[in-house]
């Protein structure tokens, strides 16, 4: 009987060592995976910051105004505005004519 208990104890110790090794290996694998995900997130945040800075640089009004003037565009002149007739908020369409959709396409 004592011999059976000793063999069972040794087998239990070997099984425990195997389980401990497997858990340790899985933990290390998960730690590496989490670290890789953290690096990916940091890189994405840095890329977003760079893109925001580039957008802010490219959207500067003085830059856009200079480019617009080079291709012949200018600010709207007050004479280009047209006054609406009093009381006319919307133009009524003739029967059967459809108003274009706000997206620029045609309604069906």
34 belongs to a structural domain: yes
84 domain residue, yes or no? no
User: Would you say residue 15 lies in a domain?
Assistant: yes
Q: Average of pLDDT values for 12-32?
A: 96
| pLDDT at residue 106 is higher than 50 | no
Q: Supply the pLDDT for residue 107.
A: 46
Q: For the residues 43-48, what does the mean pLDDT come to? A: 98
Q: What's the number of domains the chain is made of?
A: 1
The reply to whether 44 falls in a domain is: yes
pTM for this predicted structure: 0.52
Q: Which domain holds residue 11?
A: 2-74
Residue 8 maps to a domain: yes
Task: Give residue-wise pLDDT tens across range 59-89.
Answer: 999 999 999 999 999 888 888 888 777 765 6
- Model confidence over 84-93: pLDDT tens digits? 777 656 666 6
Residue 76, pLDDT score:
84
Q: Is 98 part of any domain?
A: no
Residue 102 lies in a domain: no
- State the average pLDDT over residues 5-17: 94
SS3 of the chain: the string is: CHHHHHHHHHHHHHHHHHHHHHHHHHHHHHHHHHHHHHHHHHHHHHHHHHHHHHHHHHCCHHHHHHHHHHCCCCCCCHHHCCCCCCCCCCCCCCCCCCCCCCCCCCCC
């Amino acid at each position: 009987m004592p011999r059976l208990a000793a063999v069972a104890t040794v087998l239990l110790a070997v099984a425990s060592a195997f389980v401990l090794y497997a858990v340790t290996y899985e933990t290390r694998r998960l730690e590496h995976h989490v670290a890789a995900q953290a690096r990916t997130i940091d890189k994405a945040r840095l890329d977003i910051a760079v893109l925001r800075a580039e957008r802010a640089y490219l959207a500067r009004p003085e830059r856009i105004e200079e480019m617009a003037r080079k291709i012949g565009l200018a600010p709207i002149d007050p004479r280009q505005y047209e006054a609406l007739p009093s009381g006319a908020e919307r133009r009524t369409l003739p029967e059967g004519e459809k108003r274009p959709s706000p997206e620029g396409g045609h309604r069906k």
